């Protein structure tokens, strides 16, 4: 498991672009809200730490992880933003529902990256049990929200640098 070798909250702050002129949307699933609220807290705190102004962070909630796709699409179509972070948590159960939701969200977010000219950051935890989710939402493996915020800042910078060439 890759997270065993890398803490999700570990990064070199010197390699993170300043976000003072960036606008970022965050779409959060309400399902497993003990996990997704922790992911949101991590992402929000990291964005602010790297200069993103409070008024340039747009947060909205959708009922479940599958709805992250629709939420992300409508956020980018209705707000002037530079990136969208999607945050959700799906815990494996006794039915194939887990596989369908995870696959659908993965494909949907990938499609958004192709369809729009801004980055969509995949912050969906897909874990076998709640303990694994907690460990990745501020627990011993760090916070996936931190990692997503850093990825958003770096991808906005990447996009802008490549526009200039």
CATH number for 57-135+145-165 (one of 3.40.50.10320, 3.40.190.10, 3.40.50.720, 3.40.50.960): it is 3.40.50.960
Domain boundaries, the chain: 57-135+145-165
Residue 2 pLDDT level (bands cut at 50, 70, 90): low
C-beta atoms surrounding 138 within 10 Å: 19
- pTM for this structure? 0.94
Residue 33 pLDDT level (bands cut at 50, 70, 90): very high
Q: Which of 97, 103, 87, 90 is nearest to 132 (CA)?
A: 90
Catalytic residues: 97
Q: How far apart are the first and last CA of the chain?
A: 38
pLDDT in tens, 54-100: 999 999 999 999 999 999 999 999 999 999 999 999 999 888 888 89
Residue 52 scores a pLDDT above 50: yes
CA dihedral defined by 77, 162, 155, 107, rounded to 10 degrees?
A: 60
């Amino acid at each position: 498991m890759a997270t065993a070798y890398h803490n999700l909250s570990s990064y070199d702050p010197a390699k993170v672009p300043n976000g003072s002129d960036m606008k970022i949307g965050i779409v959060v699933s309400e399902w497993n809200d003990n996990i997704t609220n922790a992911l949101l807290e991590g992402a929000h705190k990291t964005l602010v730490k790297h200069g993103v102004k409070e008024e340039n962070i747009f947060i909205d909630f959708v009922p479940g992880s599958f709805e992250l796709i629709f939420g992300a699409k409508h956020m980018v179509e209705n707000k002037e933003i530079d990136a969208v972070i999607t945050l959700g948590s799906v815990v494996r159960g006794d039915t194939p529902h887990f596989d369908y939701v995870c696959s659908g969200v993965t494909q949907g977010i990938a499609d958004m990256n192709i369809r729009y000219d801004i980055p969509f950051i995949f912050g969906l935890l897909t874990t076998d049990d709640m303990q694994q989710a907690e460990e990745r939402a501020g627990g011993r493996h760090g916070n996936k929200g931190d990692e997503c915020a850093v990825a958003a800042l770096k991808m906005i910078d990447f996009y802008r640098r490549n526009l200039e060439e």
